[in-house]
Amino acid sequence: MLLAQDGIATGAIYALVALGIVLVFLVTRVIFVPFGDLVAYASLSLAALEENRRPGLIWLVLLLAGLAFLTEALTLLRAGHARLLPRAVLLYLLLPALPCAVAYVITPMDVPDLLRIVVTLALVLPTAPLLYRIAFRPIADAPVLVLLIVAVVVHFAMTGIALLCFGPEGARPRPLTGAIFEIGDIIVSGQTLLMLGAAVAASIGLLVFFARTLTGRALRATAINRVGARIVGIRPGEAGTTAFLLAALLAGLSGLLIGPVTTLVYDSGFVIGLKSFVGAIIGGLVSYPGAALGAVAIGLLESFTAFYDSAFKEVVVFAGLVPVLIIRSLLQGQAVEDAEEEL
Amino acid sequence: MIRLLGFAAIAVFPLLASPYALTLANYSGLAALVALGLVLLTGVGGLTSFGQAAFVGVGAYATAWLTTAQGASPWLGLALALALSGGIAGLLGAATLRLSGHLLPLSTIAWGLALFFLFGNLDALGRHTGMSDIPPASLFGHTLNSSLAGYTMIWLAVAVAFWLCGNLLDSRAGRAIRALRGGTAMVESLGIDSFAMRLAIFVIAGMLAGLSGWLLAHVQRFISPTAFDVGPGMEYLFMAILGGAGHLAGAILGAAIVTVARDRLQDVLAHIGPNSGQLEVVVFGALFVLILHRARGGLIPAVLKLLPARTRANPPDAAPLSRRALPEAGTVLLEVDQLTKRFGGLVAVNQVSFTLRAGEILGLIGPNGAGKSTLFNLVTGLLRPNAGQVRLLGRDITGASIRRIARLGLARTFQHVKLRPSMSLLENVMLGAHPRGRAGLLAATFRLDRAEEARLAAEAMRQLRRVGLDAAPHGLAGNLALGQQRVLEVARALAADPLLVILDEPAAGLRKPEKAALADLLRQLRAEGVTILLVEHDMEFVMSLVNRIVVMEFGTRLAEGLPAEIRANKAVQEAYLGGVA
Amino acid sequence: MSALLEARDVHVAYGRVEAVRGVSLSLPAGQIVTVIGPNGAGKTTLLAALAGLLPSRGQVIYDGRDLAGTDVEDRVEAGLCLVPESRELFADMSVEDNLLLGGWRMRRDKAAIASGFAEVYERFPRLAERRRQLAGTLSGGERQMLALGRALMGKPRLLMLDEPSLGLAPLIVREIFHTIADLRGTGVSILLVEQNARAALESADYGYVLETGEITLSGPADELLHDPRVAATYLGGHT
């Protein structure tokens, strides 16, 4: 029972990340591998703020902002749109620098936990859209395969920078709540409930966003039909930025929730991200509920194998993808495709 | 010539190099083997794997376990390393290679990690510390444990692998493999089993990685799991793409550059700060992204531009390939009988029937959206009908696979020309003759296929001559104008020795003189006894050319008859010019 | 008379193939101009280039402004809307959501969106009946109505229609052309690309005939309607 509880709680976090993965993939066709990294960055940053250390994420965001601004400025100048430069300064330099400045200032101060959490989230938010601007926007029309390779490469590059910014030590932020509930014989920690609650709330929030708001509908439209979106005036690039922003929010949230439960280091996000991927792939990579269910299944599988032999939990989780893929390819049948010229 | 220079450089290098340089050269060679497999996979075959490092691990751990725990000879270890890496690649490939585009590379990350964690957690494999005291290989009583012996083994392996892969690519199977990139529709329509080809290169790439692992284990004499993680796997891919994934030499160039650069970078970057241990990955990453943004072809194409172009003689004549028995002119060749295809509620083709006789050109026309393409796909096997039959020489081929229909003698061209632009005219046409040869992968790798190759080349040359494209058979298909590309597709179809050639809108996008030339060619082919089904909407082109016409509208057969009858038909005029609103 | 849209020597190439070669045409404000021609003549390519979906050489002037360097979204923003041959609807979204997104250009103007809905539903009552239905489940004719309706939600000044009659039954073709003629009355200028030459020329003011990427014939629509050379380009009669 405790295993199932653990499994579902971790699964809920994977589900949050998986939702972001599917969202970004559908809107931009980018399989955003560095996604899990953001989870770790959020957790490490919050822990740092709590210990009155400056989070390394500040420098990472500033670096990305600089690079993104350069990319944008070069594109604008080449297209002869120099008059748009001030907007680029605002969007790609000032806006991302804002949370950095706040985080820099409040580090030594004794501020409420809630403020630290908000600042951490605000720090994580710009990372994904900035990466999108630097690495993916310039090749938005490239084949999915190229985008995927870029995503994997970006992950490894980020790992190197993250080591520099965060150092090799792990950190664990304080639990958001220390409450313990007893329901009959079952003991449930407040943190577990919080993880579950956040996952459910975020899923519902996403659902409402897509069904009720114009921006949400525009994102869906871009995912369904890019040309269709363009001819009504929706810019896929802007939709992509929004998708990355939302995804970063989900990743940041996941990091805040999972941090107190597991000690994360600068590169442990990769494995979290990949497990979420496995979940998303089980769900088909195109369906939000499918991805969430798949992610919870992975959480459960992991928690049960860890109980029998913790050394092999990663082996089982990742090897578990192979039978899933076999089933998928059997269902898919003999597909004759007209692939684009790749690479 | 360049190859010889390369081999000479490899032979001379150890005489001039410092021990340190020799070690770097050894690591370059080890990486080059893996990258060679990735060139086959990615650059040539259009597949991608981030998990190749795991196969290196399979090879390395297989031999390390066999030679340390079991005390067996390293040569036995080599056999096990190759068998295991090839076998696991075969299993994983069989499971995942049918997956569409992005799921395959994603899955390579997953099983790559699974294998990596497996190595790091098995007691028999030394868990996270790895395995040490692996015995060196020995040959005729000589223990191969010096740096020089390592260099010799590694680079001999690279040279042999390079040569074998080169042989493979320059063969019947190799052409099929090179044709994989850019979609399987065309490949399957030539009767080629694209899945078998993908699996073959996946296994070969796995075995090359396994070989690299075996060499690593016995030259370095210790192994640890970190070398087999997905990170190194990505680095191998970087090497292949940096060097030029489309060329075997790109693997060697890329491996050498990355290995040396990493060594230098580590020295420089170590001074930056306490946590700069992975900064070379950042540099590589930035460079990799830049290459993917700007120059996906890698460095080799730029190098090749500097070299003089190779001149090649036209293939000499050779004994003709055997031909199939062609039916007498006038025999019923193709019968389409009450064919129906529904998509959801829409009936795209509704009980359409017609027959085609040997030696004639039949035109199938109709306005856009009339159902011509669907009918075409039903006949060629891309779609299965809901009802009705297609018979070829009386044999029922309804719902048969594309490949089988192609092998039975139905050759086609494509509306959006599907050639391989980076292959020569001759090779493109030889692809068409694929079902007429039988040499397999092994024969190709060891050059036992030369006689058949000569006959295939001679046949392709004959077809090029037949259509008038024999001036520069070694030129690239991508350099032709659209009109010539269509003609080249016709030559490719003819090379299959078909019963029937189906042309899908061959006049689309052609200029007037090009259309006229194409029409002349088709008339000439009819005079030579070739049967042609022409699916087209350019009326002028069709009218001047065909014996009979079938007109479709809204999925049904609207009219059938001689060109003049069709032109005078009121219903046809209405369908084309539209009713008055 | 001032032209709303003017194309001068436009060339469009797909890779090495030049599908449109030196086309010039002019569309006076408030008129319907049609480009007709057999399939494969380059009509769709030309329209896609004018809409900014394909890169082209030559000059395109819209409302006195050179469109060089502007993309599709800029052109939509300026009121130049395309209804492509492939419709490009949002198949997994409801009719209403499709229309709402059609009004993306007007998104800051709530009243315009509301009046847009009212107009479109009045013009196509069938869409109002099916407002909750997914676009992907509509019939061919309804899809064309939705594509048109979606474009109208953006309150376009120039509507570019690519083969609106394609694949539709004659009765529905008639309905669509009635709508087009009707729209002219509301002040929308229309560039109409059609294979269905007779219907197009019936409703247009002026026509151009496009053959293998070049304009071979042009003139007032009612003159072209009776020109035997037009029929010849379709049925291959000329020698």
Pick from B190-199, B248-257, B318-327: least confident: B318-327
The total of other beta-carbon atoms located within 10 Å of residue B303's CB is 16
Contacts of B510 in chain C (CB under 8 A): 212
Closest CA to C90 of A22, B346, A220, A216: A220
**What whole-number percentage of chain A has pLDDT above 70?**
95
Long-range contacts of A76-82 (CB under 8 A, 24+ apart): A79/C69, A80/C69, A81/C69
Say yes or no for a CB contact (<8 Å) between C196 and B578.
Answer: yes
CA B573 to CA B558: how far, in whole Å? 11
Q: Which of residues 436-495 of B touch A (CB under 8 A)?
A: none
Q: Between B511, B554, B573, which is nearest C235 by CB? A: B573
Do C130 and C231 share a domain, yes or no? no
For A271, name the nearest residue in chain B, comparing CA atoms only: B113
Asked whether A172 and A268 are in contact (CB, 8 A), the reply is no
Question: B-chain residues within 8 Å CB-CB of C17?
Answer: 482, 509
| Radius of gyration of chain B, Cα coordinates, nearest whole angstrom | 28
- Whether C206 contacts C220, CB under 8 Å: yes
- Residue A340 pLDDT grade (very low, low, confident, very high; cuts 50, 70, 90): very low
**Chain B interface mutation, best of A329, A331, A332, A337, highest count of B Cβ atoms under 10 Å:** A329
- Cα gap A82→A77, rounded to integer Å: 5
Confidence of residue C86 (pLDDT cuts 50, 70, 90): confident
Listed range (A339-343, B182-186, C70-74) with the worst mean pLDDT: A339-343
How many contacts, defined by CB atoms under 8 Å, are there between A and C?
70
CB-nearest partner of A217 from C73, C97, C105:
C97
Mean pLDDT of all residues in B426-454: 91
Same domain assignment for residues B8 and B57:
yes
Is the per-residue pLDDT at B13 higher than 50?
yes
The nearest CA of chain B is from the CA of A230 a distance in Å of 23
Tell me: do C168 and C134 sit in the same domain: no
Per-residue pLDDT tens over the stretch C108-127: 999 999 999 999 999 999 99
A225/B579: higher pLDDT: A225
Asked if the structure places residue C39 within a domain, the reply is yes
Confidence grade of residue C42 (pLDDT, cut at 50, 70, 90): confident
Hey, is the C-beta of B488 within 8 angstroms of any chain C C-beta?
Answer: no
Residue pair B364/B372 in contact (Cβ under 8 Å)? The answer is: yes
pLDDT in tens, A230-277: 999 999 999 999 999 999 999 999 988 888 878 888 888 888 888 888
C113 at A interface, C-beta within 8 A: no
Cα–Cα distance, B359 to B354 (Å, whole number) = 16
- Name all chains with 3 or more CB-CB pairs below 8 Å to chain B: A, C
- B263 within domain boundaries: yes
- Residues in CB range of B547: below 8 A, 6 or more apart: B360, B361, B362, B562
Q: Do the beta carbons of residue C205 and residue C32 sit within 8 Å?
A: yes
pLDDT band with cut points at 50, 70 and 90 for residue B579: low
Do C20 and C133 belong to one domain? no
CB B186 within 8 A of CB B179: yes
**B575 and B487 belong to one structural domain:** no
Q: Is the pLDDT of residue A337 over 50?
A: no
Structural domain ending residue among the three candidates B289, B304, B319 = B304
Tell me: pLDDT of A343 over 80. Answer: no
How high is the ipTM of this complex? 0.90
Same domain, B519 and B460: no
pLDDT interval class at C236 (50, 70, 90): low
Q: Do B580 and C199 touch (CB under 8 A)?
A: yes
Same domain (yes/no): C68, C183: yes
Which of A145, A321, A337 has the CB atom closest to B110's CB atom?
A321
Full domain range(s) for residue C166: 1-79+156-239
Question: Is B19 a residue whose pLDDT tops 60?
Answer: yes
Q: Given CB atoms, is A163 within the 8 Å cutoff of chain B?
A: yes
What tens digit of pLDDT does each residue of B340-370 get? Answer: 998 877 788 999 999 999 999 999 988 777 8
Q: With 90 as the cut, is the pLDDT of residue C160 above it?
A: yes
Q: Are residues C188 and C216 in the same domain?
A: yes
| Whether residues C27 and C96 fall in one domain | no
Are C21 and C131 members of one domain? Answer: no
Closest CB to A314: pick one of B117, B183, B401. B117
pLDDT, averaged across chain A = 84
Same domain, B487 and B503: no
Q: Which of C74, C101, C108, C152 to mutate to test the interface with A (most CBs of A within 10 A)?
A: C101
- How many domains are contained in chain B? 3
Residue type, B284: F
Q: What is the mean pLDDT of residues B472-483?
A: 87
Mark which of C107, C128, C155 sits at the end of a domain.
Answer: C155
Return the amino acid letter for B210. G
Same domain, yes or no, for C37 and C62? yes
- Structure-block tokens of residue A245: 């922003």
Q: Is B399 on the interface with A (CB under 8 A)?
A: no
Contact B111 A157 (CB under 8 A): no
Indicate whether B125 and B265 sit together in one domain.
Answer: yes
C214 touches chain A (CB under 8 A): no
Question: Does residue C203 fall inside a structural domain?
Answer: yes
Partners of A139 on chain B (C-beta within 8 Å) are: 292-293
pLDDT at position B501 is 94
From chain B, the residues in CB contact with A282 under 8 A are none
Q: Is B295 on the interface with A (CB under 8 A)?
A: no
User: Containing domain of residue B573, as a range?
Assistant: 330-409+498-581
pLDDT tens readout for residues A134-149 = 999 888 888 888 888 8
Hunting for tokens 């620098």 — which residue is that? A97
Mutation target for A interface from B292, B412, B419: give the one with most A CBs within 10 A.
B292
User: In terms of domains, do C75 and C162 share one?
Assistant: yes
Instruction: Compute the distance between CA of residue B167 and CA of residue B177 in angstroms, rounded to an integer.
Output: 13
Q: pLDDT by residue (tens digit) across B214-263?
A: 999 998 888 989 889 888 998 999 999 988 888 899 999 999 999 998 88
Boundary of a domain, candidates B480, B497, B514:
B497
The reply to whether B181 and B253 lie within a common domain is yes
Specify whether the CB–CB gap between A301 and A286 falls below 8 A.
no
Chain C residues whose beta carbon lies within 8 Å of the beta carbon of residue A79: 69
Task: Indicate whether A181 pLDDT > 70.
Answer: yes
Mean pLDDT for A329-342 is 51
A residues 277-336 near B, CB within 8 Å? 277-278, 281, 285, 311-312, 314-315, 317-319, 321-323, 325-326, 328-329, 332, 334-336
The CATH number covering residue B548 comes to 3.40.50.300
Asked if A224 lies within 8 A of C90 by C-beta distance, the reply is yes
Chain A nearest-CA distance from B145, in A, is 35
Query: Could you give the percent of chain B with pLDDT greater than 70?
Result: 98
- DSSP result, B421-466: TTSBHHHHHHHHTGGG----HHHHHTTTTHHHHHHHHHHHHHHHHH
For B234-259, the three-class secondary structure string (H helix, E strand, C coil) is: HHHHHHHHHHCCCCHHHHHHHHHHHH
pLDDT over 90 (residue B63): yes
pLDDT of C103: 93
- The answer on B568 and B465 residing in a single domain is no
Burial of B325 (0-12, 13-18, 19+ CB in 10 A): exposed
> What are the C-alpha distances in Å from A130 to residues A92, A96, A123, A249, C39?
8, 9, 12, 14, 45
How many Cβ atoms are within 10 Å of B271's Cβ, its own excluded? 7
- In this predicted structure, what is the pLDDT of residue A335? 46
pLDDT above 60: residue A336: no
Q: What is the mean pLDDT of residues C23-48?
A: 90
Q: Residue A276, SS3? A: helix
> What's the average model confidence in pLDDT over A27-46?
88
Tell whether B521 is covered by a domain. yes
Domain count, chain C: 2
pLDDT in tens, B67-95: 988 888 889 999 999 999 999 999 988 88
Q: Report whether pLDDT(A338) > 60.
A: no
pLDDT(B131) > 50: yes
Question: Please, what is the average pLDDT of chain C?
Answer: 88
Q: Is residue B166 part of a domain?
A: yes
Residues on chain B touching A161 (C-beta within 8 angstroms): 282
Answer yes or no: do B492 and B509 share one domain.
no
Residue in B321, B345, B349 with CA at minimum distance from that of residue B336: B349
Name every chain A residue with its beta carbon within 8 A of the beta carbon of B383: none
> Is residue B194 domain-shared with residue B57, that is, in the same domain?
yes
Which residue, C105, C125, C155, sits at the end of a domain? C155
B415 falls within a domain: no
CATH number for position B26:
1.10.3470
Residue linked to tokens 């560095």:
A34
Is B198's pLDDT higher than 50? yes
**Residue C84 within a domain:** no
Does pLDDT of C239 surpass 60? no
Claim to verify: residue C96 and residue C26 sit in the same structural domain: no
